[in-house]
Structure 1
Amino acid sequence: MNVDLDVVAWIHADEGRMLAVRSRGRDLYYLPGGKREPGEDDWSALSREVREELAVDLDPATFRPLGVIRAASHDQPDFAYVRMACFTAAHRGDLAPAGEVDELRYLGHGQRHLLAPASLAALDLADENGLLLA
C-alpha cells in the first residue's frame, strides 16, 4: 500500500496565470514547494523551499492557507498520490530559477496540459480563490 507524498506548495498568480516551475529532468511543471524537514511547520518548510527554488523570501504577514489537494502522483514511483497543502504569500525579491529548478513560467488554463496532476488541481484551487482574476 502506497502512502501519500505529503508536501507544501506556494500558489502565486500574476495577470491571470499561476507560477509553476520545472525541475531538472522533469517533463511537467510543478508548484514551488516541497517536503517538510523534520520538525518544520508549514510556514518554515514553504519559505525554505521557495527560497531554495526561486531565490526570494516570502512575507510571513501575508501567509494564507488556500486548501489541500490530493491528486495522482507524477514522477514519484514510491507514491500513488500527492497530498499538497497550498498557501499564498507575497514575496520580496526577483524570482529566478535556483537549486534544482531549471525554469519558471506563468501558466494559465490554456496551458493545463503542461502541469503535473496536483499542480493542475492547484490551478483550479487558485481560480476558486479568485487569484487568477486578471
Structure 2
Amino acid sequence: MANDDGVREKVAWVLLRDHRVLMTRSRGRDVFFFPGGMREPGESDGQTLVREIDEELLTAIDAGSMVHAGTFEVPAGHPEHGPFRMICYTAGHRGPLTPAMEVEETAWFGYADRHRVSYVDALVFEALHDDGRLW
C-alpha cells in the first residue's frame, strides 16, 4: 500500500540473534527478505507488524517492545521497482518461528549473505553492519 506521498511501504521486522538476522524466502522466489508486509487501510506500523508476523511466522510480536530500527528507500526509477520504502523495527516475540502463508523458508543470515537479499534489504544489512550488530 502507498503512503500519502504515493510511495509503496513495507513494515519489516529485524530480528537479530548472535549477530545474524532472520530472513524469509517466499514460495517460488530465490531472494530473501525481512519478514513483514504492507499496511492495511487505517493500520499503524505496530498493527501491521503484529498482523504480518503472525500470518508469516505464526509468532506473536510484543508490540510494546517495538523500536524503530531505520527507514530505507529504493529511489524512483530503480530496477527493483522504486520508489519503495521499508520501515524497520526490532521487537520481542512469543512463540516459535514457523513459516506459514507465502513463506517457504527462514534462514539466519550474516553480513556475508547480503548478496542473497533484495536491494532495500541489503541497505539494512549495511546499516546493521556499520553499527556492529551484524557480522
Bin the TM-score by the shorter chain.
0.7 to 0.9
* Equivalent position of 2:20 in the other structure: 17
- Tell which deviates more after alignment, 124-133 or 93-102: 124-133
Equivalent pairs counted in the alignment come to 127
In the alignment, structure 1 residue 31 sits paired with structure 2 residue 34: yes
Task: Give the CA deviation at 1:118.
Answer: 1.0
Change (3 A) 1:116 1:99: same
What amino acid is the match of 1:15?
D
Following the alignment from structure 1 to structure 2, what is the Cα–Cα distance between the partners of residues 88 and 131?
A: 12
For 2:39, what is the secondary structure of its paired residue? coil
| Structure 1 unmatched runs, 5+ | none
Q: TM-score w.r.t. structure 1 length?
A: 0.86
Aligned sequence identity (%): 37
For 1:20, what is the secondary structure of its paired residue? strand
For 2:34, what is the secondary structure of its paired residue? coil
Q: TM-score w.r.t. structure 2 length?
A: 0.86
**Contact preservation (8 Å) 2:111, 2:129:** no
Following the alignment from structure 1 to structure 2, what is the Cα–Cα distance between the partners of residues 55 and 89?
A: 15
1:87 is aligned, of 69, 86, 89, to: 89
Spell out, residue by residue over 1:33-53, the C-alpha distance to the aligned partner (whole angstroms, 9 max, x if none).
Answer: 010000000000011001111
**Contact preservation (8 Å) 1:73, 1:117:** no
Aligned CA RMSD, in angstroms, stands at 1.7
2:53 is aligned, of 50, 55, 66, to: 50
Query: Which structure 1 residue ranges, 4+ long, deviate > 4 Å from structure 2?
Result: none
Spell out, residue by residue over 1:45-91, the C-alpha distance to the aligned partner (whole angstroms, 9 max, x if none).
Answer: 011001111110011221111110002564xxxx4232001101011
Question: Whose RCO is larger (CA < 8 A, sep 6+)?
Answer: 1
In the alignment, structure 1 residue 100 sits paired with structure 2 residue 94: no
Question: Where does 1:105-124 land on structure 2 (aligned, <5 Å)?
Answer: 105-124=107-126
Following the alignment from structure 1 to structure 2, what is the Cα–Cα distance between the partners of residues 73 and 59?
A: 35
Change (3 A) 1:65 1:128: farther
